[in-house]
Structures are given as structure tokens and as C-alpha cells.
Amino acid sequence: MNTPIDLFSPVKLGSHTLANRMVMAPMTRLRAIGSIPQPMMVDHYTQRATAGLIITECTMVSPMSNGYMNCPGIYSPLQVQGWQKVTEAVHNAGGKIFLQLWHCGRISHSSLLEGKQPVAPSAIAPVGALHTPIGKVPMETPRALEKHEISEIIEQFRYCAENAYKAGFDGVELHGAFGYLIDQFLQDGSNQRTDEYGGSVENRARFLLDVVKAVSSVWGADRVGIKLSPSNTFYGMFDSNPQATFTYVLQALNPIGLAYVHLMEPNETDLQNRDVINPVTPLFRPIYQGTLITNGNYTKETANAALARGDADIVSFGKLFLANPDLPKRFELNAPLNEPSFKTFYGSTNEGYTDYPFLEQVAS
């Protein structure tokens, strides 16, 4: 008789076995002062080491990949040293941790890039504004990447995958979602190139697959994941046929043998902006043959229901892990949950970062 699968069931993820199916989702927190991981980040991640897996916040692969103030990088020795302290502490606490590798592409501003123009597949401006050193400003029209620059960025991902290995991570996740560079190449609303990186879905997916192969050459594919958001509308992102586009990508990823694909469900803003795929994970579950992580404002009950249906193998939690460092214990005991403080999501202090109480602190 098969044992029912729920959040507390162990699971194989590539070459790792996770103690539970509760993943801490990557969340931008902007505590890396000067792009270098800080001691408070060591505390933040270590507090949440009971997650089956922690996926870090988006982490820059070069100075030109930046899109936010105080976002961490992994391209310099000081950054590697900062992350080493994080991984050592998480491992000492019994946890596993992947680093999310990221290039923002057009989601940036020259004031964040030492005066240089943001880059993208095509010179198409994103929608929205960013907080920058000169205040909150509209994003600029990016410069279309030259072909030789594309190969240079792929190499940056590979080099930073090596740095992540040196820093002691258990694997890496590629940020292929939310309108950043990999996503910008993939979707035809942001990619109007006429070379082998644009046009057909095969060409638009080429950059994504090239980066996957480059990073897998360092880690082995079974320690590499990728995050995708087929229904994302952030920053004016869209595709003329998202079902066909993401079906192609998932089919192309099948033979590679990744640790996982991390699929994002639409949020309320996506649903209000236009008619998007909803839900995402059940649609693509039959297409992708490997391990699927789903994310989408799940509760304990809805997450267990998704696992029981076979929609996904693992569920990631963002805001719940942000506010509840001991989330697995709280779920196990059906204990009350801390409420997240939205005003402290981003900032440079410990407030709303390492000061959420553990269950025993609440009880005492």
C-alpha cells in the first residue's frame, strides 16, 4: 500500500534527498550592502534551515546584471566569501541551499549600471519604475545585445556557477522568470531579434538552453534547477502563445535531466492585467517528466492537495517562510502563523528579516 504524499514526505531532488517537500522560495530582500552578503543574511537563511531546500534571493552574475540596490552578487571574491559563511551556517544547521543566478537585462537603469545603458534581446522598454540611487525613476529603453555579448553573458553564468560551487552551495537555480533576461529572450513580447536568438520559439529558447547547458557543465544537470513564469505580466511581459512557448521549453528540458523546474502560478495582478494561463502547474505537469516545484500563495491545505493530485512534487513558499522561520514545525503542529510585515520586505536592517519569532518564543 502506497504511503500518501504530503509536505512532510521526503523526496528525491536530483542528486539530493530532501527531508520534506517545503522549499523556501527565492525572495528579493536587498540586505546585501554594496552587493556583498552580510552577517544578517547568514542569520536569515540559517533560521530557515528546516526547509527541505532553501533557494536564495536572485544573485547577480556581473555588475551589468544589476536591477536593484543592495542585491547580492557572486562574481567577486568578496561576494563568494560572504556566501561561504551562509552555506556553512545552513549546512551546520542541517539544511540544503541552492543559489539563484540572475541577470536582470532590461529591468534596470543606467544609475544602477555605472551610467551604462541596460541591455536586452531587443531595444524594447519595459513597463514600470525602479528605486535607484537617484530616486524612483521610469526604466529606460535598453540597448539590444550584440551577438558576441550574448556568448559573454552565457560565460558569466558559467563562471558564477563555478563561484557558487566554491561558495559551498548544494546547487543552483536559474532565474528564468518574472521578465528578467532569460525570460526576455524567451517571450516574443520582448524579443524581436532576427538572428538565431530570435523569431521562432526554437530560436527564442536558445539562450535559456545555452545557459542551462553552460551551468550544467559545472554542476551536473541534476544539481541545476530553473524557475519559469508562463503567466507573468511583470514589467509589461507577454508572449503571443505562452502555452506553445513554454511547452517547447519543457519538452526541450526533459532530456537534460535537471534537478527540477520551478513553475510560478499567476498572482492577482497577472489575473487582472489580461487573460493568462490559470492554473499553470496542472497544465504543464503532463509535459515535463522531471521533478516539478510549484509556487503560488499556497497554504498547508492547498499545498497538500496539489501534492495529492500529483500536480507537483514539491511546493515552495515565499511570504510564509519570510514571516515564519520555523514554518515546517508550525505546519506539523497546526500552530498559528506570524503575519508578514510588507513594509519591511526590503531594507537594510534586521527588522522584518531576522526578528520574526519562533514558535517557542511566542509560547514563552
Do 219 and 14 form a contact (C-beta atoms < 8 A)?
no
Do 96 and 170 form a contact (C-beta atoms < 8 A)?
yes
- The residue with cell 490559470 is 278
Segment 325-358, tens digit of pLDDT:
999 999 999 999 999 999 999 988 999 999 999 9
Check if CATH label 3.90.45.10 holds for domain 11-363.
Answer: no
Residue from 186, 233, 187 nearest 208 by CA: 186
DSSP state of 47: H
Q: What is the pTM of this model?
A: 0.97
Q: Read off the pLDDT band of 362 (50, 70, 90).
A: low
Cis bond before residue 279 (omega within 30° of 0): yes
Q: Read off the pLDDT band of 364 (50, 70, 90).
A: low
**Helix then strand then coil, % of the chain, to nearest 5:** 40, 15, 45
- According to DSSP, the β-strands at 53-60 and 22-24 are parallel
Q: Read off the pLDDT band of 273 (50, 70, 90).
A: confident
Neighbours of 210 (CB within 10 A): 19
Cα dist from 314 to 51, 75, 141, 293, 311, whole Å: 11, 30, 38, 5, 9
- The pLDDT of residue 213 is 98
DSSP state of 211: H
Cα dist from 210 to 152, 185, 197, 207, 312, whole Å: 12, 12, 11, 5, 26
Q: Is residue 284's pLDDT more than 90?
A: yes
- The pLDDT of residue 168 is 98
Residue 156 DSSP SS3:
helix
Q: Read off the pLDDT band of 361 (50, 70, 90).
A: confident
Rounded to an integer, the average pLDDT of 201-214 is 98
- The pLDDT of residue 274 is 87
- The pLDDT of residue 203 is 98
Mean confidence (pLDDT) of the chain: 96
- The pLDDT of residue 2 is 62
DSSP state of 61: S
Q: Is 260 a catalytic residue?
A: no
Q: Read off the pLDDT band of 131 (50, 70, 90).
A: very high
- The pLDDT of residue 1 is 45
Segment 98-126, tens digit of pLDDT:
999 999 999 999 999 999 999 999 999 99
Q: Is residue 363's pLDDT more than 60?
A: no
Q: Is residue 35's pLDDT more than 70?
A: yes
Rounded to an integer, the average pLDDT of 185-205 is 98
The single residue of 45, 68, 180, 260 carrying the catalytic annotation is 180
Q: Read off the pLDDT band of 22 (50, 70, 90).
A: very high
Residue 331 phi/psi, 5-degree rounding, is: -65, -40
Can you tell me the distance from the alpha carbon of 330 to that of 337, in angstroms, rounded to the nearest whole number?
7
In the chain, where are the structural domains located? 11-363
H or E segment and range at residue 89: helix 77-92
